[in-house]
A and B are shown apart, each in its own frame.
Chain A
Amino acid sequence: MANAIELNINSTRHRVDVESDRSLLSVLRDDLDLTGSKYGCGEGQCGACTVLIDGKATRSCITTVGSVVGKRITTIEGLEQHGRLHPVQQAFIEADAMQCGYCTAGMIMSAAALLAGNSNPSNDEIIKNMEGNVCRCGTYQRIVAAIHKAAKA
């Protein structure tokens, strides 16, 4: 049954009337119009839907909306601050780390979480941390370069 739920997304409170077992991804996209997070597999395998929950990179497609009540949710829409891109966003542009761009939001969220905990990751650390994000267009080499770039920014 639908319930009124309060969510803290990108430092803003949102009230939604939804079943608490719905996926966070579908609520973000369909109920709150935050379509930057993408659907790619629905089973936690591709990372296109990655958001931050209390700063931790999380697959929103396999996270129920009920489980994130009272937590800090950050989506790709919340990274830019006062018209200034997050260093990872900026680095993705500069390194041309995208083709179709469908994986990009999830990649940026995973990378932002990594850099928040490790300001200067090694190549291997980047690869290990990003392994759950798929880029079907094959821009991995550029994404690794972008993350290094952002770390230096």
Chain B
Amino acid sequence: MTDEIIEELELEPERYELHAGPLLHFDLDRRDFFKVTGGGIFVLLALKGSLAQESGGGQRRGQGGAMPKEIGAWIHVAEDGSVTVYTGKVEVGQNIRTSLSQVVAEELRIPLTSVKMVMGDTDIVPYDAGTFGSLTTRMMSPQLRKAGAAAREALIDLAAEAAKVDRKELTVAGGKVIHAASKRSFEFGKLTHGQRVARVISDDVGVTPPGEWKIAGKSAQKVDARAIVTGKHEYSSDIKRPGLLHAKVLRPSAYGATLVSADSREAEKLPNVTVVKDGEFIGVAAKSESAAAKARESIRAEWKTAPQPSSRELFDYLRTNAGQSQGGGRGGGRPEAATGSIEKGLAEGDHKLQQTYTVAYIAHIPLEPRAAVAEWNDGKLTVWTGTQRPFGVRSELAQAFHIPEEKVRVLVPDTGSGYGGKHTGEAAIEAARIAKAAGKPVKLVWTREEEFNWAYFRPAGVIDVNSAVTRDGKITAWEFHNYNSGQAGIRTLYEVPNQLIQFHSTKTPLRQGSYRALAATANHFARETHMDELAHAVKMDPLEFRLKNLKDDRLRAVFEAAAAKFGWGKTKPAPGRGFGIAGGFEKGGYVAMCAEVSVDRTSSAVKIERVVASFDCGPVVNPDQLRNQIEGSVVMGIGGALFEAIEFEDGKLLNGRLSSYRVPRFSDAPSIDVVLVDRKDLPTAGAGETPIVGLAPAVGNAIFNATGIRARSLPMRLEKQIAQGAKG
């Protein structure tokens, strides 16, 4: 299993992880663990094969120091019996604070509420590359199961010693080790008697099989739900420090603009205002956000701009600049898959089809924009910020200020979401720079416009597909070229003897990075739309056509489950309505979706009426929260499918605010039915991302079914297509 996972990780397209891995790590050693917590039982996760370093290729090289690199997480059972889990993973709405607590509670046979999670605090949790790629459930969850089981076994050993009985006679329940025969019990906390017991677990510790789960595998309410509904939960932007100042940063007039001059004399004269100038960086701090904004407005800056591509010429630009990768990462050159001969495959088919699909740049728009609170104490920098990569941001800060990483502490409060958009530490660095100059703690909360303009986007892309199919529906050739959007989900699970699948990196007009499911959305849109076109060409039912070309059991199973629940093939859509189906595989999860859409005759407005999503991600840890993630993926997917697109010109965004960039709202949400295929026999995969890949093609195929119009661009703007006279 280990090898298989590592191999999958190699496929992660880390070219979109925007920052290279840190060169040095100054991680905790075991003595520091004790320092933080006092006595008790520690279980350090140290697995063979370094499963703990789950970040994927780019981050996996040397991390300094022998032991820390093997530690993925650790559990502490304190002398008062409390159980604390320390992990570098962070909570950004994907509910891992609860689901990870569940697996630990399960192994230690304690109530969910008895587990405390310390997450994303770089001073006291082991190194972690980041929370992305749906890896937490796939990797951290099994690790914590093992750590929890090891802690349980250690407690049993101690109790056996204390009771002078064979450990086989002991059971664990309710925070105690129990010897039923003599009616004696030993509370967890008492067992260590003030000593420190450290256990480094091995890979073969006996975990509770999913079939026997009592806490894991069940729906559990979010552990911090009450703090959230009462407004008490503190996000980064809510953190207060004594003497806190508010900061603003002067932004360039356009992308690629360079600073010619800046006159800040007026701002400097304002009372209680600090102005920081450091190269091109200009920031201000004041007692209130509005005072800081006024100070910034008084600065007269002159910028020199350079010509920039616009969104109108975007797809030509991506194609013409192919092969000119801007450093870092893989991609370009080597095909992702190459078997047989495309020429031969094309000759063998009865129908040939060549089509191009495009996806626009879109923004993440986490509802909490980037925010950071920074303070310096005796040369040590502490920053609270919302990021998916606490240790990555720590490195960025260490590099920015030329200080060792041990002089930087990053704390990540549970964050107002990320969707892949918060891998970087822009606000953290800016706040820290201004705090350094002001000599006081500083808070910087990006405005929504700043978040639109100065964060990064999901890559736009162009995908060319060239294929052939026989009269009776066997695909004979599959050639697939993706320009810029990425490799995730690029391979096909359909059986095609002749394949050429290739990703081409290009020069990018906008700053781009990770997004929920990365390029798998674009690649699935192109593939599953094209599959529908082929089915149509050979006059086959789209589901039947897919199954005919598919051997993979798990994908077949989710297709069949979704179709059954939807009633696929049983009814015909009402006039003005259409049905569509699509599916795929990514990050260990298999998804299939059926959608029903209605298209308004006069306005051509598309409404997604109903979605059935079927999902297999191995054994399910928390079914209700998994449903919640899948529903969320569907809704988020609607934006990219139907209306989200960043428009830009002359280095400026034309729609970089919420009033001009439409996101899915209440009225856009369809009724969503989720069918979970619970595979207790397989490893668990994450769910925060993969379900999003099925939505756009299922909807596009349903639109075709309703109207005969084939949408090959995301977002699918039907009015625009009709105006251009498009037809199937």
Q: How far is the CA of A21 from the CA of B664 in the complex (A)?
A: 32
**Distance A31 CA – B195 CA, assembled complex (angstroms):** 47
Return chain B residues, CB-CB under 8 Å to A108: 229
> B238 at the A/B interface (Cβ < 8 Å)?
yes
Q: Is B246 in contact with A30, judged by CB distance below 8 angstroms?
A: yes
- With A131-B667, A138-B634, A138-B664: A36-B230 Cβ-Cβ less than 8 Å: yes
The total number of A-B Cβ pairs within 8 Å is 176
Cα(A90)–Cα(B229), bound, Å: 8
Known: A96-B222, A102-B417. A45 touches B231 (CB 8 A): no
Residues of the B chain whose Cβ atoms lie less than 8 Å from the Cβ of A29: 238
Q: Is B257 positioned at the interface, with any CB of A under 8 Å from its CB?
A: no
| Of listed A45, A77, A92, residue having the most chain B CB within 10 A | A45
Q: DSSP majority for the A interface?
A: loop
Give the shortest distance, in Å, between A66 (CB) and chain B (any CB). Answer: 13
Contact-size category for A: 35 or more
B651 within 8 A of A: no
Say whether B95 contacts A105, CB under 8 Å: no
Chain B residues near A31 (CB-CB < 8 A): 288
Residue pair B288, A138 in contact (C-beta under 8 Å): no
Q: Do residues B417 and A127 form an inter-chain contact, with CB atoms below 8 A?
A: no
Query: Please, how many angstroms separate the alpha-carbon atoms of A75 and B628 in the complex?
Result: 27
Interface of B is mostly: loop
Q: Which of B28-36, B361-369, B432-440 contacts A (4 or more CB under 8 A)?
A: B361-369
- The CA of A22 and the CA of B293, in the complex, are separated in Å by 12
Please measure, in the bound complex, the distance between the C-alpha atom of A134 and the C-alpha atom of B365, giving whole angstroms.
11
Q: Is the CB of A136 within 8 A of B234?
A: no
Closest to B665 in A: A131
Once the chains bind, are A104 and B229 in contact (CB under 8 Å)?
yes
- B94: Cβ under 8 A from any A Cβ: yes
Pair B231/A138 contact, Cβ less than 8 Å: no
Q: Is the CB of A43 within 8 A of B635?
A: no
Most chain A CB inside 10 Å of its own CB: which residue of B94, B226, B230 = B230
Q: Which residue of A lies closest to B224 (CB)?
A: A101
Task: Determine how close the nearest CB of chain B comes to the CB of A13; give it in whole angstroms.
Answer: 20
A residues in contact with B367, CB < 8 Å: 38, 40, 46, 48, 100, 102-103, 134-137
Establish whether residues B221 and A99, one from each chain, have CB atoms under 8 Å apart when the complex forms: no
CA distance in complex: A93, B221 (Å): 7
Given contacts A102-B235, A134-B663, contact A42 B632 (CB under 8 A): no
- Residues of A within 8 Å of B663, CB to CB, are 134, 136
Evaluate contact between B288 and A99: CB separation under 8 angstroms.
no
Among A19, A36, A100, A128, point to the contact of B93 (Cβ < 8 A): A100
Cβ proximity bits B553-589 to A, threshold 8 Å, 1 near / 0 not: 0000000000000000000000000000000000000
Closest-CB distance, A48 to chain B (whole angstroms): 6
Residues of chain A within 8 A (CB-CB) of B664 are: 138, 140
Most chain B C-beta atoms within 10 Å of own C-beta, residue among A101, A135, A140, A142: A101
In the bound assembly, the distance between CA atoms of A105 and B303 in angstroms comes to 40
B368 near A38 with CB under 8 A, answer yes
Question: Taking the complex as formed, is B631 at the interface, i.e. its CB lies under 8 A from any CB of chain A?
Answer: yes
Q: Is the CB of B448 within 8 A of A43?
A: yes
Report Cα–Cα, A90/B448, bound state, in Å. Answer: 30
Known contacts A96-B222, A137-B417: A43-B93 contact under CB 8 Å: no
Chain B residue at minimal CB-CB distance from A37 = B231
A68 beta carbon closer than 8 Å to chain B: no
What's the Cα separation between A60 and B712 when bound, in Å?
41
User: Contacts of A80 on B, CB cut-off 8 Å?
Assistant: 230
Residue contacts A-B, CB under 8 angstroms, 22 given: A26-B289, A40-B368, A40-B448, A76-B229, A80-B230, A89-B229, A90-B229, A93-B225, A93-B226, A99-B629, A100-B415, A101-B93, A102-B93, A102-B367, A127-B667, A134-B367, A134-B663, A136-B636, A137-B367, A138-B669, A139-B632, A141-B631
Residues of B within 8 A of A (CB): 92-95, 221-222, 224-226, 228-235, 237-238, 240, 246, 288-290, 365-369, 414-417, 419, 445, 447-448, 624-625, 628-629, 631-636, 657-659, 663-667, 669, 671-672
Q: A127-B667, A135-B635 are in contact. List 7 more A-B contacts (CB 8 A).
A: A30-B288, A36-B232, A38-B416, A46-B658, A96-B628, A136-B365, A137-B632
